[in-house]
Amino acid sequence: MKQNKNLITGWILLLFAAALFCLQLTYFFAHAKYQVEYTDSRLFYVVNILCLLFLYIGLTLLLRKLTKIVLGVLAALLLVQIGLLVHMNKEVRNITSISPNKHHVFSVKENLKSGEVVYYRTHYGIFARPKEVLPNKIIGEVKVEWLANDIAAFTYQTTDYKIDHFVATYGDRKNGISYYNVGPEIQGVWKGNGVEVVSNTEGISIKENSAAELFKWEDIQQYGTLAVVLKRKNEPIWTISLNENFVVHSDSTEPLVGNISLYKVTMEQNQPETLRFAQ
C-alpha cells in the first residue's frame, strides 16, 4: 500500500517537473522572439529550483536504487540555481505589485549597476515585455498605490532627492478603441472631503484647505486614458484618475457619470480621495 502511494506521488511530481520544464521552454522561445521576460526575474530561477526539486523527490520515490551520482548531480544543480537566484538579486531589483482584484501585475525592474529603470507591461500574469524606460534613477524606497483595479501609481525618490511619479494604466472607460483626453472628460467642478478640483479651458485647479493652485495644461501629463499627473516646475504634485464607475460618453452633452480620485504625490503613506461631480 505504501509502495503504491509512493509510486503515485512520484509520478505526480515528475509530471509537475515536466510541466515546469515545458514552461521554461515556452519562456525561452518567447524571450528569443518577442523579448518576453518573467514579470519578476526571480521567477526564472524559482521555476528551475522547483523543477529540479520535483525531479529529485520523484525519482527518489520511483527508483529506490537510483545511483548516488545522479542524485548528487541533481542536488548540485539545485544549489547552483539557488546561488544564481541570490546573485541575480544583487544585480536586478524587482518591484512588483498585484492589483486588488488580482487581474493585473505592476512590474518595474531596476538594473542596480547602470541604474536603468524599466516599466514592464504584463501579459498572462507571469510574463511581461519592456514597455518604457523611466527618466530618472531610483534612490531608496519606492511606493506603489493602486488607485483603482486598473491604475497603479508608482512613486520614488530620484538621485537628486526629488520625488518622481509614474502611472501605469491597464483599462479604459469608453470602448477600448478610441483615445480620449482625461482633462476635457472631467470638465467642471468636483468636490471631496476638504478638496475641490476644477477643470476648465485654463487647466486644472486644486483647492485644498482654502488654498487653490492652478496647473496649466502644459504642466499636466496624461497616462493612458485613465489618469493625469499635475506638475509644478516639472515635479509631480497631484494625480487625478478616473474611477471604475466613471463613464466616458461619445456625446459630450450627456451628463457626467461616476467619480474621480485625487491622489497627492508623496513618499508618505496616503490614500486617494474620491470626488463627486458638483457642477
User: Is 100 strand, coil or helix?
Assistant: coil
Q: Where residue 63 falls among pLDDT bands split at 50, 70, 90?
A: confident
Nine cell digits for residue 192: 471631496
**pLDDT at position 70:** 75
220 within domain boundaries: yes
Q: Where residue 176 falls among pLDDT bands split at 50, 70, 90?
A: low
User: Is 138 strand, coil or helix?
Assistant: strand
Rounded-to-10 torsion of CA 97, 145, 117, 94 = -20
Q: Where residue 247 falls among pLDDT bands split at 50, 70, 90?
A: confident
Name 216's bridge partners.
203
Distance between CA atoms of residues 269 and 152, nearest Å: 15
**217 Cβ neighbours under 8 A, 6+ residues apart:** 183, 202, 203
- Do residues 114 and 126 lie in contact, with contact meaning Cβ atoms separated by under 8 Å? no
Q: Where residue 67 falls among pLDDT bands split at 50, 70, 90?
A: low
User: Is 207 strand, coil or helix?
Assistant: strand
62 within domain boundaries: yes
User: Is 242 strand, coil or helix?
Assistant: strand
Q: Where residue 15 falls among pLDDT bands split at 50, 70, 90?
A: very high
Distance between CA atoms of residues 146 and 151, nearest Å: 6
7 within domain boundaries: yes
Among 89, 112, 138, the domain-final residue is 89
Q: Where residue 128 falls among pLDDT bands split at 50, 70, 90?
A: very high
**pLDDT at position 65:** 66
74 within domain boundaries: yes
**pLDDT at position 5:** 78
Among 67-71, 157-161, 165-169, which stretch is predicted with the lowest mean pLDDT?
67-71
**pLDDT at position 157:** 92
As for how many domains the chain has, the answer is 2
Q: Which residues of 80-100 are buried (b: 16+ CB within 10 A; e: fewer)?
A: ebeeebeeeeeeeebbbbbbe
Closest CA to 225 of 168, 166, 153: 168
Tell me the average pLDDT across 37-53: 93
132 within domain boundaries: no
- Percent pLDDT > 70 in the chain is 95
Q: CA-based angle 80:84:90, to the nearest 5? A: 150
Tell me the average pLDDT across 193-198: 91
pLDDT digits (tens, 9 = 90+) for 136-160: 999 888 999 999 999 999 999 998 8
213 within domain boundaries: yes
**pLDDT at position 3:** 66
Tell me the average pLDDT across 91-120: 93
Average pLDDT, rounded, for the chain? 89
Among 89, 115, 134, the domain-final residue is 89
Measured from the Cβ of residue 229, the count of other Cβ atoms closer than 10 Å reads 22
Amino acid at 70: V
166 within domain boundaries: no
Rounded-to-10 torsion of CA 172, 173, 178, 183 = -110
Parent domain of 40 = 2-89
pLDDT digits (tens, 9 = 90+) for 197-219: 999 999 999 998 888 899 999 99
Closest CA to 222 of 253, 262, 182: 182
| Residue 265: exposure state from Cβ atoms within 10 A (0-12, 13-18, ≥19) | buried
Cα atoms in the 13 Å half-sphere on the side-chain side of 271: 4
Nine cell digits for residue 201: 479651458
Among 89, 120, 150, the domain-final residue is 89
236 within domain boundaries: yes
